[in-house]
Structure 1
Amino acid sequence: MNPAEGRAAVAERRAAPAENRVEAPAERALAAAVRAARDASATAVTVAVLAGGRAEVHCFGRTGRGRAPACTPDTVFELGSVSKTFTALLLAAMAARGELALSEPLRGLLPADWPAPAVRSAEPIRLLHLATHTSGLPRLPPGLLASALPAWNSNPYAAFDEARLRAALAATTVRTEPGRHYRYSNYGVGLLGRALAERAGLPYGALLADRVLAPLGLTATTCAPDPPHRATGHRHGRPLPPWRIPALPAAGAVRSSGADLLRYLGAHLAPPAADAVLAAALADVRHPRLRLPGSADLLALVWTRRHAADRDVYFHSGGTRGCTSFVGFSPATASRAPVAVAALTNTGPSVNGRFVQAGYDLLRAWGGTC
């Protein structure tokens, strides 16, 4: 969830001719992910795969430099914008419980004494707009860049506290009609989380744990900045302090492990029958809401959906200054089994996006072999 982060550009790649294939596609994709991470000075890589009814968590390296512990399936990485998929599921779960509606205006869910963004249209900003990046809000809150500069290379959101968020709300004007145009917004999903927390009367992290993490058995997933078994983030080979995003945790504060992410993605593929609320929510987040501009891809609640090779693929990527993440899943078809992939590493996103692309290629490769 770097300040410059937008929707991940993940390209479709054609397979090499059969005579040039030295390795199985999945093995080649896994090797590419590890190379991309190590080339960016990562010390730890986790690749978790659910395919053909079998779960595998591949771990490489150590959680930090020197004598740091080995990376394991329980090693926790910062997820950055993959956090937004958790916020989308929380929104859908609260809607399924009847606590709110996706069509509710944001204004009625903010604290009464907080300012609200000025909207120059009769259509208000609704929760659905926030979860589909169509609110008209800018990518970042006004004033964030100024507060971020002193810690730009390590923790740019750390100084953006609640007081600065309130000032940003007072300075925000939405000039386009909400719901009309797609514009990726960390600010928007961060405000969505604040609205959900306000309705429930709980901090975002506690609310997420109560409604999503505990019901799904995600014991290592948290918004706490320094959880046990965490991988130390790195930027250009330099270790960084834990990522902090106090005012907008719903946009990028979640941490998780490879083992937990397999449970999380597995629930999207096979919702728990015993929990009707979560089952409904997990179905709702997959429902496409709009077509992304200049693309054949569709946007569901936060998730991008792409139709490729006769199957639907859902994916999202994320990054903090010190970690990069990719998650994706593809439901079963008549001829192929369901597949899910999570790729995590403890170095910040590269300009060329090689690790994220490798994560997407992993998803396609394993999907093709099911």
Structure 2
Amino acid sequence: MTKTILAILFTILISGCSKSIKSSSEAESLDSVISRFERTLKDDLAEDNIDGSISAAIVQDNKIIWSKAFGYSDRTSKTLADTSTIYRTGSITKSFTAFLLMQLVQEGVVNLNDPVETYLPEVKQLKGYSASTKITLLQLATHTSGLSREPELEDAAAGPIEHWEDKIIASIPTTSFEGQVGKNFSYSNIGYGILGLSLSRAAHKPFMELIQDRIFTALKMNASYFKVPANMSSHVAVGLNGGPEELETETPNMEHAGRGYKVPNGGIYSTPNDLAKFIMAMRGHPALLSPANLKIMQTREVSGMDNYGLGFFINKDGDLEIVNHGGAVAGYTAQLSFDRNGKFGVIIMRNYNFGETDLQARSSELLKALH
């Protein structure tokens, strides 16, 4: 009896040790993958050789497990980038606009299949608009509205942020249909501009306030803005626009005042650590959206397309599904990606528009290694 009990205890002890060894090995593997990712970013930055900066963060479940910055946020003053350095997100803003849409759907303020003209009757002025080309909020959010990528209005993407709504209204009569409504995927910046203004009309509140109150404040994204306040301007990385031999900072600097209509589709400033909180929210931490509504955003079939959901691209590689969106504006590039069915997510942000780091490829490589 005693020998039997001892044998059982020995088996339990060995089993516990094995689990401990396995956990330690997995931790080392995780550290190894992250170290390789860090070295790659450093090497890329050195290869680009323009004294720019790259900042990144990695999420596991509902916490940030790694966050670092490399290079200079301002190469003229030799200011080093750090984890509080702010960049422009570009089109990652579209994911926030889609998230706001689903919040309003969840509250019964709007329905996905509502015609846009219900909230924004000016949309009837679109070129070629008719009873057969009515577009819905869902179609705008999934880029299946058939609308052109940009309006034909001169300087539509220029001008102070305070007048972005006026630019949307002025852009609508100059915007055409490039495909059949609801049939084809056609990436449309102006479509997301129209979506943002429509949501504002439906909620009876300015769009930027809706995002601030419902997402930034709710997630404690305290370094995220549409217009960076004066006391935080020193944290914004200086954008380097153009190629390696023709860099200029004038355009990015000018665009801090506004990019015309491009607010709901490309207006957010943020940091990797703040965007990490948005990834957590996309996983229900905290539960700003129900699991069912989060699933809609991350489901390819919702748009009828192979690799797009609602405000996100979904790239499939074997059993790995990477939910992601990138962004690029003058002087800045960014990428947000996470494993839909796994634990990890990554954000990479940079204050220039070219170089060794293919942000989407680097993000996907990391998530595959962590999968």
Shorter-chain TM band: 0.7 to 0.9
Structure 1 gaps, min length 5: 1-22, 149-155
Q: CA deviation at 1:40?
A: 7.1
Residue 272 of structure 1 is aligned with which of 266, 286, 301? Answer: 286
1:20 alignment partner in structure 2: none
Q: How many residues get paired?
A: 324
Question: Relative to 1, partners in 2 of residues 1:97 and 1:56: Cα closer, same or farther, differing over 3 Å?
Answer: same
Q: Distance in 2 between matches of 1:120 and 1:174?
A: 11
Question: Relative to 1, partners in 2 of residues 1:103 and 1:342: Cα closer, same or farther, differing over 3 Å?
Answer: same
Counterparts in 2 of 1:192-341, with a 5 A limit? 192-225=195-228, 228=232, 229-236=235-242, 237-239=247-249, 240-241=252-253, 242-243=255-256, 244-273=258-287, 275=288, 277=289, 281-288=293-300, 289-290=302-303, 292=305, 297-332=306-341, 337-341=342-346
Q: Deviations over 1:53-105 (max 9, x none)?
A: 65211111232123354322221110111111111101111111111011111
2:349 alignment partner in structure 1: 344
Q: CA deviation at 1:365?
A: 2.3
Structure 2 gaps, min length 5: 1-30
TM-score (norm 1): 0.78
The percentage of aligned residue pairs carrying the same residue is 23
Q: Distance in 1 between matches of 2:180 and 2:359?
A: 37
Q: Distance in 1 between matches of 2:150 and 2:45?
A: 27
TM-score (norm 2): 0.78
Q: Distance in 2 between matches of 1:203 and 1:68?
A: 38
With CA pairs under 8 Å and 6+ residues apart, which has the higher RCO, 1 or 2?
Answer: 1
1:365 alignment partner in structure 2: 366
1:103 alignment partner in structure 2: 113
Indicate the structure (1 or 2) with the bigger Cα radius of gyration.
2
Q: Deviations over 1:25-52 (max 9, x none)?
A: 5544444444445517352210111137
* Paired residues of 1:33 and 1:359 also in contact (CA < 8 A): no
Question: Relative to 1, partners in 2 of residues 1:200 and 1:41: Cα closer, same or farther, differing over 3 Å?
Answer: farther
1:84 alignment partner in structure 2: 94
Q: Which moved more, 1:170-179 or 1:83-92?
A: 170-179
2:180 alignment partner in structure 1: 177
Q: Distance in 2 between matches of 1:325 and 1:231?
A: 13
Q: CA deviation at 1:106?
A: 1.1
Q: Deviations over 1:196-238 (max 9, x none)?
A: 1111222221111112221122111111155612111111432
Aligned Cα RMSD in Å? 2.8
Q: Distance in 1 between matches of 2:151 and 2:51?
A: 30
Q: Distance in 1 between matches of 2:312 and 2:363?
A: 18
Q: Distance in 2 between matches of 1:331 and 1:314?
A: 6
Specify the SS of the correspondent of 1:302: coil
Residue 194 of structure 2 is aligned with which of 191, 200, 203? Answer: 191
Specify the SS of the correspondent of 2:73: coil
* Paired residues of 1:41 and 1:347 also in contact (CA < 8 A): no
Q: Which moved more, 1:113-122 or 1:298-307?
A: 113-122
Question: Relative to 1, partners in 2 of residues 1:201 and 1:291: Cα closer, same or farther, differing over 3 Å?
Answer: closer
Q: CA deviation at 1:250?
A: 0.3
Q: Distance in 2 between matches of 1:113 and 1:91?
A: 19
Q: Deviations over 1:295-337 (max 9, x none)?
A: xx421102111221422111111011010000100034xxxx5
Q: Distance in 2 between matches of 1:181 and 1:210?
A: 34
Q: Distance in 2 between matches of 1:346 and 1:157?
A: 20
Q: Distance in 2 between matches of 1:51 and 1:103?
A: 34
More helix, by proportion: 2
Q: Deviations over 1:120-144 (max 9, x none)?
A: 452411111111111111100122x
